[in-house]
Every structure is written in structure tokens, then in C-alpha cells.
Structure 1
Amino acid sequence: MRRFFEGDLWHGFRTSPVAIVAALIAAACLFGALFADVVAPHDPFDLATLELADARLPPAWMDEGKATYPLGTDDQGRDILSALMYGARLSLAVGIASVLLSMAIGVTLGLVAGFTGGRTDAFIMRVCDVMLSFPSILVALLIDGVGRALFPNAHESLAFGVLVLAIALTGWVQYARTVRGSTMVERQKEYVQAAHVIGVAPLRIMRRHVLLNVMGPVFVLATIQVATAIITEATLSFLGVGVPPTSPSLGTLIRVGNDFLFSGEWWITIFPGAMLVLIALSVNLLGDWLRDALNPRLR
């Protein structure tokens, strides 16, 4: 730990105001999402606590607003601030889980393609080309639609898994192409040639030596892809094919509020949209800083 705080990475973070602000915003959003049960003023999904008489209340600083609902309420009387915390929890869970899955698939295929070469490399790259020829949101819609058609009465956990799989299968290509390029460079270096000479198995070389040296760009890409995955999940939920309505994410909250945007209840959709922008922007800024910090040529 002491070595980390004395290293260049921590020094670069301390001297970057943008990275510090982005980290604080991301940490606040993550804290609110993880501990929504504790810090949220209300439980927006407990039907016993909802008051229809409090529906469509404006934020507390406006006329007719109440201090118990700082950001107002939606059409069912749910507290917007509490709904944001619970919705951000689901959006972050989907985003992080899908990025981890796509990273596992992409890194594995990219490592195999770059290290073995030949027909295996050509086949994997042609699959990547096919995946890149389709818009990612269209592929996610297709996979999610097929999953819902096969399991129309699926449990929420299964629907969550289908959504994660739909996003992951559209995001692994970037990892595969990035790792393949780095692996093709690493396999020509002396330490890999020496491992071949002394009889180390190719799988062990890939796992113990090459993998560790190609993970730098992967971590940067994963940081940025978290924001992309969250936006993709919000888009799918906005279109009505995301998470179930009983567990609304930020995309679902935006879709619900969109019906009341032109009737004057702007806070129902503006605040979830602002929350989504804050999360995506802070994660992207952290990813940009990490890219610059890990690349000496950009310092």
C-alpha cells in the first residue's frame, strides 16, 4: 500500500483535479447505490408506504413541495431521490457484470488468437468483423428479445442474466482485438522465446506471462466500457426490454417520466437522466485519466 501511494499513479491522480472530481462523483453514486437500503429516505418499491395523495409533488424548493421528498415524487407517489439510489444500484450491477463477462470472453479469445495465429486467429477475427458490422444496440435487442420469447415468465434473476448476456455479447469484440494486438507484440519478445526453449507449455506461457503484460489497456477499456454498458442498459430499459418493471433501473425511470415531461412534471425524468449522465461522465473521465496515467507517452 505504501508503495502505491509513493508511485507515479497516485501522484498523477493527486495532481489531476478532473480525476479527483470524477472519482468523488463516482464514489458518491456508488455509495448511494450500494447502501440505498440505509441512506435512502424512503423505500420506493414498498407498496405499503406509498401515498397516492403525494403523487407528482415538485422538488422541495418549489411551491407545493415537501421537505420529505427533496427531489419530488413520481406519478405513484414514490420519492425520486430514493428511486434514483435503487435504480442506480441496478444499473451499476448490470453494467459491471456485463463488462466483467465481456472482458472474460474477449481477453480469452484475443489471447488465443494473438498467441496461436494461423486459422484460429483468422476465424476469431472474422467473427469480430461480423459482430462489428451490426449496431451493438440492435444485437442487444435481438438477444434480449429472444431470451424473453424463450422464457416469457422468467424470474427476475433470469431476466437480469439475459440482459447482462445481451450487453456482454456486444462488448467483447473490443477486448479481443485489443488483447490480440498486444499479444502479437509480446509473443515476439525474449522472455516468451526463452519459455518456449525450456519447454514451458503454451497455455502456461499465455496464463502466467503474456496475460499479465497485456492487461494494462484492458483495464482502461473496461473502465470506459462500464459507462457504455450502463447507457446500453438504460436504452434497453427505456425501450421496455430491459429489467422487469418491478425492479426499475435508471432507464425505466426515464421512460416513466417521459410521459409527464410535457405536462409540467419535468423532475420525474430530468433527475434520473441527470443521474445517468453523472455516472457515465465520471466513469469516462476516470477512464481517460487512467489511459493517460498508464501510457508514459501521454504524460
Structure 2
Amino acid sequence: MNASSSPATDAPSAWARFFDGDFWHSFRTSPMAIGAALVALGCMIVALFAGVIAPHNPFDLATLELSDSMLPPAWMEGGQAKYLLGTDEQGRDVLSALMYGARISLLIGGASVLVSMLIGVSLGLLSGYAGGRIDGFIMRVCDVMLSFPSILIALLIAGVGRALFPQAHDSLAFGVLILAIALPGWVQYARTVRGSTMVERSKEYVQAARVVGVPPIRIMIRHVLPNVLGPVLVLATIHLALAIQTEATLSFLGVGVSPTSPSLGTFINEGNKQLFSGAWWLVIFPGTMLLLIALSMNLFGDWLRDALNPRLR
């Protein structure tokens, strides 16, 4: 028998199994999932490559012209073709500013979600696997965190950070803002992972690992964690949209990122001051960009939750 026709070489690759699996079939047959993924991916690409795609650099003072300030969108009377979505009071191109602002919003939102996941998944694994007093203590901390509105906790942390470091560098200001958004968000991960871990720890493969003397930390990381990541990924997708909205809210209230590195929330705050002067484009376009990002993330998260639910297959 020829070695080239052996079962080992005829086995399908990982990519072939993926494209033949139920997950990919569910995605390609769901117009909502495809549309949400395309919109979210488009926003991310535009934000990440803003320095290449954007027609102008809105933060290069040498290129700004005050004579071009407060221009309406190009299709309105008084607009210019080189400023497709108009300009603000400083003469910055709104379209370019949206691309750069979306990058800041996605960066802070994504980093805060990663921090929340790291804290919540770690505490959830420990709580669900250890049980007893450790479980009780962690859950009581979660109850205390849930008794306060998350936006108030974020406002408190961001406000205290701004008061303690009024002249802080942008990187430090970003760190404080990421921490302010991440701390209220870890609770959902911890409670979700705890419930899944309590189910997994009683299964045979965990009992077998205990019998052969595998350390508990290795059991949690190598055996339990991969089996509880499904709900975590769904929660992270939805939480990303919420984190971006929280960042925009904090920036709108004046305790977010600095004006030298504005996000979408900062642009909405600045545009709100010019709203009654008729410059509606300074609020509508940043708000629409924020809506597209949040809505696409939420819709994709809803599909992902159903796709990973074995009861719905």
C-alpha cells in the first residue's frame, strides 16, 4: 500500500474541519452575523490604519487652517470636496478625526475588556474550583460590586485619577481610564466562569487528573479553562461594545481621555457645544460611528451566543 494514501496523510486539515463544521455553516447562513462582522471589521480596519487611510492628519497643527473651520459636509452649500464630512471649530477634518478617534476608543475598550477577562476568569476559576470560604469571599465581593452602578464606579476611579495626576502623560491617563472601565466589568466574567467551573470540576476527566496527582493550578488552566471559554468569548464580545460606550460616556462627561488624544466621546462632547450654532455634523457623525461599532458588536455577540449553544444546534 502506498504511504501517500495512508489514513494519516488523508486526514483533513484543521482549516478543512473548520470550514466543514457547524460553526462556519451557522455563520455563512446568517445574514445578520455576516453583516455585523463586516461592519465591525471595517470599523477596526479604518481605526487601526487611520494614519494611512485618513485624508488628513487632524492633530498636525502645521496642516490646520482656521479659515477652513466650521465648514459643512461637502454635499451642502459652503462645503468643500476635500472635507467630505466637514470641519470643526479648529479646522480639523471630521472624517479623519473620526478615524483617529475610533482608534482611541477601540484601544481603550479592547484593553479594558482584556483586563476584566484576566481578573474575572482567574477569580472565577479559583472560586468555582476551590469552593468553601474562598468561593464565599469572592462572591461577596461580586455582590458588593454589583450593588453599585458600574458607571458610578468608573466615574469615581477616573475622577480620582484625574485629580491625583492632573498633568499626567497620555499613557498614564489611558491606564487610569482602562482601569476605571475594567474594574466594574470583571464581575460578570467571574460569576459566569464560576458556574461553568463548578459543573466541570465534578466530571470524570477532572477526577482522573486529581487521582494521578496533577496540581490544582494545572487542572484549572489546562483542563477546566478550555472548557469554560465559550461563554467568556460571548461575554467579551458584548462587553467590548459596553466598554466603548462607557469610555465615550466618561469622555463626554470630561473625565475620559485628554483633548490632545480625543476619542469619539470627546468629539461628541466638543460637538455638543456647537450644536445650537447649527453644526449638527459635529455630533451626528461621531454618534453614528459609535452606534455602528456598538451595534455590530452586540449583534455579532448575539449570534455567537447562539452558535456556541449546543442546545440550539
Partner of 2:88 in structure 1? 74
Partner of 2:280 in structure 1? 266
CA distance in 2, matches of 1:23, 1:181: 29
Q: Deviation per CA, 1:44-92: give whole Å up to 9, x if none.
A: 0111111111111111111111110011111111100000000000000
Partner of 1:209 in structure 2? 223
Count of equivalent residues: 299
The letter for the 2-side match of 1:140 is A
Cα offset for 1:209?
A: 0.2
Which structure has the bigger radius of gyration?
A: 2
**Structure 2: any 5+ residue segments left out of the alignment?**
1-14
CA distance in 1, matches of 2:262, 2:287: 14
**Structure 1: any 5+ residue segments left out of the alignment?**
none
Corresponding residue to 2:184 among 170, 173, 192: 170
CA distance in 2, matches of 1:145, 1:179: 31
Cα offset for 1:261?
A: 1.3
TM-score (norm 1): 0.99
Identity, % of aligned positions: 76
The letter for the 2-side match of 1:150 is L
The letter for the 1-side match of 2:129 is F
CA distance in 2, matches of 1:298, 1:82: 43
Does the alignment pair 1:134 with 2:148? yes
Cα offset for 1:7?
A: 1.4
Partner of 1:106 in structure 2? 120
Cα offset for 1:2?
A: 2.3
The letter for the 1-side match of 2:225 is L
Does the alignment pair 1:153 with 2:153? no
CA distance in 2, matches of 1:69, 1:3: 47
The letter for the 1-side match of 2:135 is D
Structure 1 runs of 4+ off > 3 angstroms?
none
Does the alignment pair 1:59 with 2:73? yes
CA distance in 2, matches of 1:82, 1:68: 11
Q: Deviation per CA, 1:143-173: give whole Å up to 9, x if none.
A: 1112122222211100000100110001000
CA distance in 1, matches of 2:40, 2:276: 31
Structure 1 residues 158-237: aligned runs within 5 Å: 158-237=172-251
CA distance in 2, matches of 1:102, 1:21: 27
Partner of 2:9 in structure 1? none
Cα offset for 1:200?
A: 1.1
Query: CA RMSD for the aligned pairs?
Result: 0.8
